[in-house]
Amino acid sequence: MITSLQTHSIDIGIGLTEGWVAGLGKAQAERRDAPYKLVGTYVETPLCWAISTGADRKDVTGVDGLQGAKMGVSRIGSGSYVMGFVLADAHNWLSQPPTSPSSSPAPTPFNIIPLQTFARLRDAVNDGSADFFMWEHFTSKRYYDNGAIRRIGEIYTPWPSWHIVARAEIVGDERLEEVLEKLNLGVRYFEEHKEEAVRYISTELDYSAEDAREWLKTVKFAQDVRGVRASVVQETVTVLEKAGVLGPEVGVMGMIGIRRKG
């Protein structure tokens, strides 16, 4: 999506918070203008990342033993990568040497294994080329239910999970304001038609109707999507710096096109 914003293929995008912030921070580090600004908050609730291992792995028993293990990620800097550092920070592993005798001495809490796709991550924890990976809970659940992988824990993002960006040139344009208001109308329609949402999710997406209903209990869309809180962006930047995705001295306010209070 960032590439599409750069090429003007799209004007507005909705995506994971950490991805947008990482892209903006990298643009600052390279002293170039970012192709977009943060303009809205789409989902107020954090995202639940499930922690998974192979279905028959006896050597991976729980989260406490993961320090120094092989962590499968889609790519360096992705959400699956960043959340590993959120997990490590929660367990105070970022400042401690790894305890696993097979781990590398790299200055990371895990041995990182980039694998690109969800399917390859599932295969890797079963064939031993990775010990665990992290992916959104409900997307992973069907593979727990069919016995393909095993769930050993979960962790939530420390920030609201989805934000809205727009090309920098259209911030302040009345067309952007119109889109944000229509998103508000869409959120209200969704809230008032939950069973219609369940039917759509269970027929068009990779969820059962039961899982769709459970997912609806966990997600809270912004009642007014307009604007972004600087405190949320700062918290995201702090974690991305710990993960080595961003360097120090990132300017948070330069990332925000429309600001909320807080």
* Statement to judge: residues 17 and 74 lie in one domain: no
CATH number at residue 98: 3.40.190.10
Number of domains in the chain: 2
What local confidence, expressed as pLDDT, does residue 109 receive? 87
Domain holding 134, by residue range, is 48-156
| Tokens coding 99 | 């305890």
Among residues 135, 156, 177, the one where a domain terminates is: 156
128 plus 176 within the same structural domain = no
Query: Each residue of 182-206: pLDDT tens digit?
Result: 999 999 999 999 999 999 988 988 7
Mark whether 69 and 129 lie in a shared domain.
Answer: yes
**What does 208-222 look like in DSSP terms, one character per residue?**
-HHHHHHHHHH--B-
34 & 56 share domain: no
Answer with the one of 156, 179, 194 that is the final residue of a domain: 156
More confident residue, 242 or 65: 65
Q: Residue 99: pLDDT above 50?
A: no
Asked which of 106-110, 128-132, 190-194, 221-225 is least confident by mean pLDDT, the reply is 106-110
Cα 187 to Cα 178: distance, rounded to the nearest angstrom:
14
Q: Are residues 182 and 96 in the same domain?
A: no
Are both 75 and 10 inside the same structural domain? no
State pTM to two decimals.
0.83
Same domain assignment for residues 172 and 249: yes
Share of the chain above pLDDT 70, in %: 95
3-state secondary structure 126-176: HHCCCCEEEEEHHHHHHHHHCCCEEEEEEEECCCCCEEEEEEHHHCCCHHH
